[in-house]
Structure 1
Amino acid sequence: MSATLYLLSTLGGYVLTSALLLKCPGLLHRPKRQRFRCRHISHRGGAGENLENTMAAFHHAVNIGTDMLELDCHLTKDEQVVVSHDENLKRSTGVDVNISDLKYSELPPYLCKLDVTFQKECHCEGKDNRIPLLKEVFEAFPQTPVNIDIKVNNNVLIKKVSELVSQYKREHLTVWGNVNYEVVSKCLKENADIPIIFCLQRVLLLLGLFYTGLLPFIPFKEEFLEIPMPSIILKLKEPQKMTRSQKFIIWLADTLLMRKALFDHLTARGIQVYIWVLNEEQEYKRAFDLGATGVMTDYPTKLKEFLHNYPA
């Protein structure tokens, strides 16, 4: 009987302590120093209003007041860091070739019309169809935070991006990473002064810690949690073509991931929470109501209008 009481009292103490520290993480952790704070993030520069990852898209987003540009990087054959989502250019240029197989001067232009990946049956047209260099973005927007997705596990790419960030003195205005654990680890090792995101493996760990009550006790080196809103998948696919099990998995992932208590805890620890890629007002509202600090969108004008009416 005494052993049972001891076990129950220990478990009760753990639960109470975990709940207290979940609400008040400052009792155990010093909040991370935030060098910038973003609510409005333009995905690929705003792929629904200009051709993705082009200078025209970046200029448009900055001109309307975006807080951050999100973009993707690859390395050419002559080791130039270019801004492109895909390694293979078939989707975006119509030419079935890899960026790494061409010199920068040989890269084909983007098609004049591209589908908007996260908005079903929508496309965007534009005249600026040149694949830009990362250094052009840094030169054009010296005061704008940039979120860099390192698209491939390439040591030279990571080193080159780090050198560019250092050259333009942008460690305080840049965040980088990838869903891949090894890529993020290499980024941190290459330049610890540039903030990193949680990779997929670490997101799963984060959830495990949250649901077991261990989260408040564990320190993190990451400064940004960037996650999708799983429910948007239902919008992108034909509902009648999805099986019950697929719908259940999406519902479960959404239920487990979209947790206000989790987001509030991370925010109190100085870790920013960005939700992607949201393109409708009801999605924006849900994300911010849940405590997200920022939203990535393909439609920067639409998000700006929403934020104008949404209290900070």
Structure 2
Amino acid sequence: MYWQRFITQDGMSLLYFLLPVFGGYTLTSLYLLKNPHILHKKKRTAFYCMHISHRGGCGERIESTMEAFENAVKHGTEMLEMDCHLTRDEYVVVSHDENLLRQTGQDVNISSLDLQDLPLYKERMEVLFYEGRYSTGADRKIALLEDVFRKFPELPVSIEIKENNKRLMQKVSDLVRSYNREGITVWASVDNTIMTECRRTNGSMPYSFSMTRGMLLLLLFYTGLLPFVPLGESLLQFYLPRIMNRTYFPGGILANKLAVSLLEKVTMRRSLFQHLAARGIQVHLFVCNEEEDIKAAMEVGATGVMTDYPSLLSTYFCKTRSSD
């Protein structure tokens, strides 16, 4: 009886101590989540983009071609998103895939070919994030990154690096420096190892969250630690989960749809996105190819939307601005 009474009293004492500590921590975390300027200086990037064209706007022109980039700019895009690879003779080219089977019909790798030997894109290319849709265009040539920089010297560009190729990273960095674009060219990669190497190659360029860092961001958010932790990233680029059900699971399996629904509830947190925006970290949700998706992205707190259809996004923004 004595020990039971001692344990009970000791447990109650501990509870009386922990409750106010936990309560104080929770209230402080919530307050700082809404007022991050108290602990963190707001990032001031050289760009702020609401209209981002995925692969140059690959729903309206063949992906990653100069024609696609020019069309996107004509429709008011504020950032071009692209992927880069290195040819055998060390030219940096713009292509989503290293292997060109999907894009050209030829089962060859970019790294195995010289620039002059790269095949043309297909005349008709499927839009991966819009089932049953295809793009066409007069330009079927794989673009040089340098041509993009030369043509659009002041336009922000997000470059995703998919392979841990130090030579590729160095070549990209050299071009960025050569065209004085360090403030408006973004390192992007889902792979944290690759992102670390990109930053080591050129630490002056802004960079986005890798997958690992994105998961850590969510962990910090749900444990209440986020307001206390410094963040080096300037952008969060993430799927709008609802598009996965149409893209990856069309007519799909119930378990997959439930998983996507759970992912949406966990990741699409307006308070998280507002906190990041208040710290100067832009939130770009993709790939929004329907008006309802653009609306959903903006309503959840995205600061920018990435699309395959730049004209659709421009029309949406024009309509919303005129109605305000």
State the TM-score, normalized to the length of structure 1.
Answer: 0.98
Distance in 2 of aligned mates of 1:241 and 1:235: 8
CA contact (8 A) 1:39 1:67 kept: yes
SS of alignment partner, residue 308 of structure 1: helix
How far, CA to CA, are the matches of 1:110 and 1:249 in structure 2? 35
Structure 1 residue matching 2:21: 3-state secondary structure: helix
Matched, 1:233 2:261: no
- CA shift for structure 1 position 271: 0.4
Check the 8 A contact 1:68/1:145 in 2, yes or no.
yes
Larger radius of gyration: 2
Cα distance, 1:2 vs structure 2: 2.9
Q: CA deviation at 1:205?
A: 0.5
Any conservation in 1 of the 2:82–2:160 contact (CA below 8 Å)? yes
Say whether residues 1:6 and 2:17 are aligned partners.
yes
Which consecutive unaligned segments of at least 5 residues does structure 1 have? Answer: none
1:239-281 deviation line (CA, Å, top 9, x unaligned)? 5441x32121111111111110000000000000000111011
Q: What is the match of residue 256 of structure 2?
A: 246
Q: Residues 28-43 of structure 1: matches in 2 within 5 Å? A: 28-43=39-54
Aligned residues: 311
147, 150, 166: which one aligns with 1:139:
150
Q: What's 2:298 paired with?
A: 288
- 8 Å CA contact 2:245–2:252 kept in 1: the answer is no
Whole-angstrom distance in 2 between the partners of 1:248 and 1:6: 40
Corresponding letter in the other structure for 2:68 = A
The secondary structure found in structure 2 opposite 1:172 is coil
The aligned counterpart of 1:27 is 38
CA contact (8 A) 1:67 1:144 kept: yes
Q: Distance in 2 between matches of 1:42 and 1:171?
A: 20
TM-score by length of 2: 0.94
Classify the secondary structure of the residue corresponding to 1:171: coil
Determine if contact 2:49/2:79 at 8 Å carries over to the other structure.
yes
2:282 alignment counterpart: 272
Which position in structure 1 is the counterpart of 2:271? 261
1:189-229 deviation per Cα after TM superposition (whole angstroms, max 9, x unaligned): 11111001000000000001111111111101111000001
- In structure 2, how many angstroms separate the alpha carbons of the residues matched to 1:307 and 1:298? 15
Match status 1:185 vs 2:196 = yes
Identity percentage over the alignment? 50
Report if aligned partners of 1:223, 1:270 keep a CA contact under 8 Å in 2. yes
How far off is 1:86 after superposition? 0.4
Which residue of 1 is the match for residue 8 of structure 2?
A: none
Partner residue in 1 for 2:114: 103
Match of 2:182 among 147, 154, 171: 171
Equivalent in the alignment of 2:3: none
